[in-house]
Structure 1
Amino acid sequence: MIDTIIFDFGNIFIDIDYNLTQEALKKLGVKEWTTELDTLNNEYEVGKIDELQFIQGIQKHTNNADLIEIRAAWNALLLDFPLKRLEFLQMIEGKYRIFLLSNTDATHIDKFEHKFGESFARDFYSCFEKVYFSFEIGKRKPDENTYKYVLNSHNLTPKKTLFIDDRLENIEGAKKCGLHTWHLDPEKENVTQLLEFIKSIHD
């Protein structure tokens, strides 16, 4: 019986399109997303470097774009957050223990809070028993230690916990920790279908 749900953030609650950031960075001169840039991103996502170091790191790959342009390009992927998803979350918050576990960085979270407003963000965060952002905890999915960190911090039982993510590698990491999983396809599925999914597990 599922009593706990751990949600991802991007493409579960807020719609994102990585292509928009890639295109915006290309316009600034970033020809390709290199291994060096990937490493830089991972370091930023676990809080090893700050925003200035990260954006300056990208700047080296641009046509001398300024930091504000790069920050805007980096945030281009953040799209809509349909209100019905927040309302759904508010409806189920008393029925399950719910947590947020997201690979993200300070730049994206700052943009989210400004784009949708502090009161919206506060309403969203308050639905969760605890919010875990990779840049704050120094761990990121799909590392098994990331899931174990959340499980152990709250004495959660893996077989009673459902993890929801749109990225397959993160789902695989959760499975290794014994969690039930929903690999949500944002093209065809919506988090508001959660109760139907849980019913299918129990049937």
Structure 2
Amino acid sequence: MIEAIIFDFGDVFLNLDKEATVRELKKLGLKEWTPELEQLNYQYEIGKIDELEFMCGIQKHIAKCDILAIREAWNAILLDFPLYRLEFLQLLSGKFRLFLLSNTDQTHIDKFEHKVGQSFARDFYGCFEKVYFSYDIHLRKPDENAFKFVINNHNLIPKKTLFIDDKKENINAAKKLGFVTWNLQVGKEDVTQLFEKNLL
């Protein structure tokens, strides 16, 4: 019997274009997305560096490009958040303990909130008992400590907790800890099909 559900954010609720950021950065002059930039992104997602350090780190790889243009390119990944998904979540919130666990950064969350508006964002966050962003908790999936952080803070029982994510590595980490899981296939499945999955 499922008592709690932990959701990922991007491509579960908020649609993403995962190639858009690098595509837009290349238009600004970036030659390639390097392991150094990947590490920089990781540091930003776990809150080890701030936005200015992150943007300046990218700027080193793009000659004569201002930080505002880089931020705009960085946010190109974010698409729309369909209202029907929020409505579905609101229905669920009366039936289960809900949590959000997202690998993300301050820039993306600021942009999301600006894009959908404070009222929509407040309604979304209000569906959850607690919202966890990687940059706030300094932990990132698939690190099992990210999951344990949520488990321990809320006394969750993994075998009575469903974890929904679009990334296989995150699902695998959750499975090892005993969670019930749904590896949502982006473009083929929608979070609103949850009841059809016979997981609850």
TM-score of Structure 1 vs Structure 2, range by shorter chain: over 0.9
Q: Distance in 1 between matches of 2:157 and 2:79?
A: 34
Q: Answer yes or no: is 1:150 the counterpart of 2:150.
A: yes
Alignment-mate amino acid for residue 126 of structure 1 = G
Alignment of 1:35-184 (within 5 A): 35-184=35-184
Deviation at 1:64, TM superposition (A): 2.0
Deviation at 1:63, TM superposition (A): 2.5
TM-score of the two chains, using structure 1 as the length reference: 0.97
Query: Helix, strand or coil for the counterpart of 1:2?
Result: coil
Deviation at 1:29, TM superposition (A): 1.3
Deviation at 1:175, TM superposition (A): 1.0
Query: Helix, strand or coil for the counterpart of 2:38?
Result: helix
Q: Distance in 2 between matches of 1:32 and 1:152?
A: 40
Structure 2 portions without partners, runs of 5+: none
Query: Helix, strand or coil for the counterpart of 2:19?
Result: helix
Structure 1 portions without partners, runs of 5+: none
**Aligned length in residues:** 200
1:91-113 superposed Cα distances (whole Å, 9 cap, x missing partner): 11010000000000000000000
Q: Give identity over the alignment, percent.
A: 65
Q: Distance in 1 between matches of 2:85 and 2:11?
A: 11
Match of 2:16 in 1: 16
1:25-76 superposed Cα distances (whole Å, 9 cap, x missing partner): 1111111111100110000001000000000000011122100000000000
Q: Distance in 2 between matches of 1:118 and 1:97?
A: 23
Deviation at 1:196, TM superposition (A): 1.6
1:88-139 superposed Cα distances (whole Å, 9 cap, x missing partner): 0001101000000000000000000000101100000000000000000000
